[in-house]
Structure formats: structure tokens, C-alpha cells
């Protein structure tokens, strides 16, 4: 089974100056190729620490992908670190230098001696041209003893740029074809997310615990603020086979959870709710209090008020439904000191008011209360004729 690890390189990531998006992108690509991702790690711009991380990863995994640290300055350490990890020196490659000169000339500049650093790769490495940037990339292959000590296992380290657009282009144009051929990758891993609202993670776990013990497909839970995701992942020889495996599990989950599942993959709770509203030909107005526009950013025609009491919230909803001439008026007011929220709804069938208390981080109260309110609205719409 082919395995991989990802190492992102850059002190700026550790300092929180930039967000690492490369790991997520590469992880999805590896998943689609049927490669098992074991670990991801971020290392600052230190040759020894990077070399140690690369060596350890290569001992564990078949594929090690690094991003970042390939620029022309002294604090771009990846080339030297990879060479040290596998016990070789770096060497100058004339063809890569010619590419650097050509790429820089496109900007109307002349390549400096400092930029010659980018044409060095670990000895024996496979150079990869970078048609969308100045820093060439490389692949290094190394044999490691197998666990039975009588045979060897090959591991490769692939060093890519840190700039996302460059990394993505080279990954698709050069790295994926290389990996498919090198490791005879003929499996796919498909993942489907089922989004749930209305039950907590523990309650959902009680209903599907036996499915969470499966090996293929696998089923796992991820709790968010007011929403729980169920992840179904299947490995198979083809995409169709993987989808069929996932479909079978999804059917069982829907039988057990019913309308708690509100969407899949890219579906969002507010979009599902508004689409349901439109499908039933209903109209809506909304009110929020203490949320700084959080509900308004999700639900159109939301009016914001400061510091509404529960009774004032209901008064405002009655008035809004009449003035806007809508079928439904829904609202929520939060009370941070009490870690609570009050939700209200006015429909042709009557009024509802519901108080909920929150035991999580205080900063998450607004998002939690908004998601609860939208899901409350969703279930109410489903019950309307």
C-alpha cells in the first residue's frame, strides 16, 4: 500500500504570517490517487531540522512531498536539506540554470549570480522544470532496507515550490504522471461528507457506532459549531466502485438519521434551507440581536437590533411579519453573560419561542446560535404544506 507524508517548509507559516493551503491541496490529490497520507508537518527554515524530518519521513513512507524553500536566497534551505537527508552533496545543473535565466528574462531582467542557487539539486536528483516560476523543482529516489532486512524499499522525496499556483501546476503536469508510473497507482479513494444538524456528535455516534468500526469504507465524525459532518471514505479499483460502496453506507446512515442529514459535500445549511423555502413558495424575514450581522450574512432580509430581550424579540418578529407580508419571521438573540440564546418564530400557524444554553467556548456562541436557528427554520419549513 503506497503511503505518503507532506512537509511544508517556511518560518513564515510557523509565525502565522501566511496560511498553508498547499497541504490540503496535495492531500486531496493523493487521496484521489489511492495513496494513504500518514503525516503532515511544518518546519521552519532550518537545514538540520528539515533534513531530519525528511529522513524520518522517507524511512516511513514511499512518497515525501515538500513545499517551499526553493527560492534564491540564503534562507531557502530545501535543496541543502534534502541532500543532507539522503547523504549527498548538491550539484549544479546547466539545463536548470538555462531555464532560470529564460524565465527571469521574461520579466525583462537578467538572472543574478545569487539566483544560480536555484539550479542546484541533490546529486542524482531528477530535475523538474518550472514553466510558471523561477525555481526549478526536483525528485530524489533512495533505497531503504525493508522490514525483513533482505530486500529494499524505494522512497522518493519530491520538492515543490511554496507558491500555490506554481505548486499546483507542477503537481498536475509532472508529479502526478511520475507517481502513477513509479508506484503503479491504480486505486482511487473517494470521500463523501454528509452534513448533519439537530443532533450532537455524541448522539449521532450512538446511532452509527457500528458503522464507525468498518475498514473499507471507513466512517468518521467531525463536530463543528452546530453542525456535525459524517465522512465516508472508500478505496476501490475505480471511481464507480468506490461510489457504489459509499452509496450503500449513505443509505444506512439516512435510514438511521433521517432529516438530521441536511446535505452532502459542498452543501451549506443556509443554502439548503433557502432552497427549501423557495421550493415551497414561502417568504421569509429575519431578525438578529447581538450577532453583528452574522445571521444577515447567511439569510437575506435580516434586520439587526442591539440588545433585544426575549419578549422584545417576539414583538419585533410579529411586526416584521406583518410589515414585510411574509409567511415566516424567524429571529435569534444571544445573551453572552448567560451563554444562552433565544430563538423565535412567527408563522401562519402560530408562534414559537425556544431558549438554548451553550457549554462551549464563549466566542463560538454566535455561530452556534445562528446554525441552530437556521436548522430550526429548516425543520419548520419541511413541516409546512
Question: Tens-digit pLDDT profile for the chain (385 aa)?
Answer: 799 999 999 999 999 999 999 999 999 899 888 899 999 999 999 999 999 999 999 999 999 999 998 887 777 899 999 999 999 999 998 888 888 888 777 767 777 777 788 888 999 999 998 888 878 899 999 887 766 656 778 899 999 999 998 999 999 899 999 999 999 988 888 899 999 999 999 999 999 999 999 989 999 999 888 999 999 999 888 889 999 999 999 999 999 999 999 999 989 999 999 999 999 999 999 999 999 999 999 999 999 998 899 999 999 999 999 999 999 999 999 999 999 999 999 998 899 999 999 988 889 999 999 999 999 999 999 988 6
How many angstroms separate the CA atoms of 305 and 284, rounded?
A: 17
Helix ranges (DSSP H) in the chain: 11-14, 22-33, 47-60, 78-86, 94-105, 164-170, 176-182, 201-208, 239-257, 269-279, 310-324, 365-383
Domain that holds residue 241: 188-264
Do 132 and 26 reside in the same domain of the chain? Answer: yes
How many angstroms separate the CA atoms of 158 and 338, rounded?
A: 53
How many angstroms separate the CA atoms of 108 and 54, rounded?
A: 37
Do 253 and 284 reside in the same domain of the chain? Answer: no
Do 200 and 260 reside in the same domain of the chain? Answer: yes
Mark which of 207, 233, 264 sits at the end of a domain.
Answer: 264
Cis omega before residue 217 (within 30°)? yes
CA-to-CA dists, residue 91 to 9, 81, 158, 226, angstroms? 21, 13, 17, 54
Do 148 and 231 reside in the same domain of the chain? Answer: no
Mark which of 264, 284, 308 sits at the end of a domain.
Answer: 264
Do 86 and 235 reside in the same domain of the chain? Answer: no
Residues 6+ apart with CB under 8 A from 101: 111
Do 46 and 194 reside in the same domain of the chain? Answer: no
Do 204 and 170 reside in the same domain of the chain? Answer: no
Do 26 and 138 reside in the same domain of the chain? Answer: yes
Do 43 and 154 reside in the same domain of the chain? Answer: yes
How many angstroms separate the CA atoms of 66 and 134, rounded?
A: 17
Question: How many structural domains does the chain have?
Answer: 3
Do 104 and 209 reside in the same domain of the chain? Answer: no
Residues present in the chain in total: 385
CA-to-CA dists, residue 271 to 22, 237, 253, 298, 301, angstroms? 28, 34, 22, 8, 14
Do 170 and 195 reside in the same domain of the chain? Answer: no
Helix, strand, coil shares of the chain as percentages rounded to 5? 40, 30, 30
Amino acid at each position: 500500500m503506497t503511503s505518503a507524508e507532506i512537509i511544508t517548509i517556511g518560518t513564515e507559516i510557523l509565525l502565522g504570517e501566511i496560511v498553508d493551503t498547499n497541504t490540503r491541496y496535495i492531500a486531496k490529490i493523493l487521496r484521489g490517487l489511492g495513496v494513504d497520507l500518514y503525516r503532515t508537518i511544518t518546519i521552519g527554515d532550518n537545514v538540520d531540522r528539515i533534513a531530519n524530518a525528511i529522513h524520518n519521513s522517507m524511512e516511513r513512507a514511499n512518497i515525501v512531498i515538500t513545499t517551499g524553500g526553493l527560492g534564491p536566497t540564503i534562507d531557502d534551505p530545501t535543496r541543502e536539506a534534502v541532500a543532507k537527508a539522503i547523504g549527498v552533496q548538491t550539484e549544479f545543473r546547466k539545463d536548470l540554470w538555462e531555464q532560470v535565466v529564460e524565465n527571469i528574462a521574461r520579466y525583462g531582467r537578467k538572472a543574478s549570480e545569487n539566483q544560480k542557487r536555484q539550479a542546484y539539486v541533490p546529486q542524482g536528483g531528477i530535475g523538474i522544470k518550472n514553466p510558471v516560476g523561477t525555481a526549478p523543482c526536483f525528485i530524489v529516489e533512495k533505497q531503504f532496507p525493508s522490514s525483513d532486512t533482505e530486500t529494499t524499499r524505494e522512497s522518493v522525496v519530491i520538492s515543490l515550490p511554496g507558491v500555490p499556483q506554481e505548486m499546483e501546476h507542477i503537481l498536475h503536469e509532472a508529479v502526478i504522471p511520475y507517481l502513477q508510473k513509479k508506484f503503479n497507482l491504480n486505486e482511487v479513494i473517494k470521500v463523501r461528507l454528509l452534513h448533519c444538524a439537530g443532533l450532537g456528535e455524541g448522539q449521532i455516534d450512538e446511532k452509527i457506532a457500528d458503522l464507525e468500526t468498518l475498514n473499507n469504507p471507513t466512517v468518521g465524525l467531525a463536530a463543528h459549531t452546530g453542525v456535525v459532518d459524517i465522512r465516508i471514505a472508500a478505496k476501490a479499483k475505480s471511481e464507480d466502485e468506490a461510489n457504489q460502496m459509499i452509496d450503500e453506507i449513505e443509505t444506512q446512515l439516512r435510514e438511521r438519521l433521517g432529516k438530521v442529514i441536511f446535505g452532502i459535500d459542498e452543501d451549506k445549511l443556509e443554502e439548503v434551507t433557502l432552497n427549501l423555502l423557495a421550493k415551497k413558495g414561502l417568504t421569509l424575514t429575519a431578525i438578529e440581536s447581538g450577532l453583528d450581522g452574522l445571521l444577515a450574512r447567511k439569510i437575506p432580509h435580516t434586520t439587526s437590533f442591539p440588545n433585544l430581550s426575549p419578549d422584545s424579540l417576539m414583538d419585533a418578529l410579529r411586526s416584521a411579519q406583518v410589515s414585510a407580508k411574509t409567511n415566516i419571521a424567524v429571529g435569534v438573540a444571544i445573551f453572552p453573560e448567560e451563554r444562552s440564546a433565544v430563538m423565535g418564530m412567527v408563522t401562519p400557524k402560530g408562534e414559537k419561542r425556544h431558549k438554548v444554553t451553550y457549554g462551549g467556548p464563549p466566542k463560538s456562541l454566535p455561530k452556534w446560535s445562528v446554525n441552530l436557528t437556521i436548522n430550526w427554520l429548516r425543520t419548520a419549513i419541511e413541516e409546512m404544506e
